[in-house]
Amino acid sequence: MLYNHKFNTSMRFKLGISIGLFLVSTALSFAQEDKEEQGDIDTERLIIVKPYSPTVSDAFKIKQNPVINDSTERQKKKVNYTINSFPVASTFTPAKGRAARVQQQALPTSFDNYASLGVGNYFNVDAAFFGRIPLSRYQDLNLSFTHQSTQGGIDGVDLDDEFYDTQLKLGYEQETRSFTWGTQINALHQSFNWYGLPQEFSIPEPLLDGIETGHAYLGGGLDAYLNTGEGVFQGIDLSYMRFADNWGAGENRLVLTPKFELPLTQMPVDLELKFDYVNGNFDEQPNNVSFMPKYAYLNSSISPRIVLSDQDYSVQLGAELVYSMDVENEKNNFYIYPKVSGSYRLAGDYFTVYGGAQGGLKQNSYYGFTQNNPFVAPALVVAPTDKQYDVFVGGKGKFTEALSYNVKASYQNEVNKALFKHSTDNQNVTSREGYEYFNSFGVVYDEVNTLQLFAELQLDINDQFNLKLNGSFYSYGEDREPEAWNLPQFESQLMLNYAIDQKWLISASMLAMGERKDSLFIINSTPESSAQTQTLDAFIDANLRVDYQFTEQWGFFLRGNNLLGDNYERWYAYPTQGLQIMAGATYQFDW
């Protein structure tokens, strides 16, 4: 049986090979005949193929890392703390510049946490900390702390001029498979002084020490967001803030913004709802400033929008419908605003024309007024501004690969625009508070038309050097007030960053502001009161900062503000500090 088994197996194997070869040769002959009938083969060729013998040299290294394209894979945000240069008015209140920042070359860093401390003349102190603590793969804890202060010492100032501003933010973020959400707790403590006494107002020196000019602010709040990115409901933003001062003023503001995407047409419709509520009260009853003891507004809006775009054009069609409720005065108003814009590439990246018409109801607040002008009185008139339209047209592009440009002309109409105006000096009043010595500002409202011409150039030679220069010219038309109080005729900013190498970075900035006009109104015992317009001179504020990265973690900097040394006045009778020099150190680390 063993012999028969081997014989049968061998015969089967040989028979299988014979049948296989017969079928293959038959198929090849039919295929060759078919091709010859079609005329595809003109010559006969005999190809001898050498069997492949793999060698070690054929094993190539993988030159690309695998890309994970999975919805469950979290895309972590890279946190880079760098030193940014931007124009800052060199007042003792180091308010943040409003110009867009230049994308600058960062000093090398791979750390999640950044700390900085600087000390300068006038006993100026500037401290900051930014940190991120990864709790897990999908959870982060963020911390931000900033402190700026000075002990004063401005030449020619008779009243206290100390200042400090401390702000703390603690945030938490989490990402899941279907949504991301985060929340942030905010706190601030600020202190200013009404130290600006005009030359028209004189106080006997023995009385100066008894004037209480301190104005302190305390605020706290909560911000939160939820982003889904899928379906009809896209997410929601929430913001709440409580703001108060040491003169009895208090304010609450709550803003809720749900966002949707409606598949009503071939193009999805973006829909945003917004509920903006603010209420506040003032305990002070000033003699020289118009104010409202209480105020409360609820603005509810709906904004539908569709976007049409192609390689060369983009069009946004939308509108905003707002229902505003003046709760205290029981008055309601309904507004409709345009939200239309578009752009078209006429010459590729070298020239794009754009334009549009925008509008909206801006909710003013006591907190917002104090951040724009810290020397306001502790009792103001707070009301929303109706920006009926802002029509603009412009062009942008680049002259070369390194030099880009942007020019724009706009015309806007604002009803109930808030203007800062110097408080009135009522000399008939014998008892005064610390802000009633002709040294504070109130808020007046007027209908203002503004024509703006804007131009900007940006130069990016390489990753180490970039420069941005922009300027705006304004022309105003007022309805009731004789001037657009404290609005400049022009503004200009210059920002430059140059990374010499991996250790040295130079940042320069310049802020130029044109003439402004303020009102001086004096009420005295005579039948006629004196009113005059005061013109504030234009000024230039130049700043320079040099950073040296000593090690991967430690760095040092030297900063100079107001290099021209001019004690200019951003607000009338409020001179700024002269030349300011500060030196400090930075430290980067991981937990």
pLDDT-wise least confident of 12-26, 421-435, 478-492:
12-26
pLDDT for the residue 158: 87
Q: Which residues of 46-81 are buried (b: 16+ CB within 10 A; e: fewer)?
A: eeeeeeeeeeeeeeeeeeeeeeeeeeeeeeeeeeeb
pLDDT for the residue 528: 63
pLDDT for the residue 527: 57
**406 located within any domain:** yes
Q: Which residues of 117-156 are buried (b: 16+ CB within 10 A; e: fewer)?
A: ebebebebbbbbbbbbeeeeeeebebebbbbbbbebebee
What's the pLDDT band for 205 if we cut at 50, 70, 90? confident
As a whole number of angstroms, the longest Cα–Cα distance in the chain is 142
**535 located within any domain:** yes
**15 located within any domain:** no
Task: Count up the domains in the chain and report the number.
Answer: 1
More confident: 212 or 54: 212
DSSP annotation string for 346-393: SSGGG-EEEEEEEEEEE---HHHHHHH-TTB-S------EEEEEEEEE
Q: What is the pLDDT of residues 351-368, one digit of tens each?
A: 999 999 999 999 999 999
Q: Which domain holds residue 565?
A: 113-589
The DSSP call for residue 210 is T
Q: What is the pLDDT of residues 292-335, one digit of tens each?
A: 999 999 999 999 999 999 999 999 999 999 999 999 999 999 99
pLDDT for the residue 64: 39
Residue appearing with tokens 């015969």: 11
Please, are residues 439 and 422 in contact by the beta-carbon 8 Å criterion?
A: no
Kindly tell me if the per-residue pLDDT of 23 is higher than 50.
no
Strand partners, 585: 117, 556
Sequence-distant contacts of 313-316: CB under 8 A, at least 24 apart? 313/342, 313/343, 313/344, 313/345, 314/342, 314/343, 315/341, 315/342, 316/340, 316/341, 316/342, 316/356
pLDDT for the residue 293: 93
C-alpha separations of 190 from 13, 119, 147, 214, 439 in Å: 95, 19, 10, 10, 19
Dihedral sign for Cα atoms in the order 11, 17, 20, 24: negative
Q: For the whole model, what pTM was predicted?
A: 0.81
**103 located within any domain:** no
**288 located within any domain:** yes
pLDDT for the residue 34: 43
**38 located within any domain:** no
**18 located within any domain:** no
Q: What is the pLDDT of residues 73-103, one digit of tens each?
A: 444 444 443 444 434 445 444 343 333 333 4
CB count within 10 Å of CB 374 equals 22
Kindly tell me if the per-residue pLDDT of 524 is higher than 80.
no
Q: What is the pLDDT of residues 534-573, one digit of tens each?
A: 999 999 999 999 999 999 999 999 999 999 999 999 999 9
Share the mean pLDDT of the chain. Answer: 84
pLDDT for the residue 49: 43
**62 located within any domain:** no
Q: Which of 354, 355, 349, 453 is nearest to 404 (CA)?
A: 349
Q: What percent of the chain has pLDDT over 70?
A: 81
pLDDT for the residue 427: 76
Kindly tell me if the per-residue pLDDT of 166 is higher than 60.
yes
Kindly tell me if the per-residue pLDDT of 525 is higher than 90.
no
CATH number for position 535: 2.40.170.20
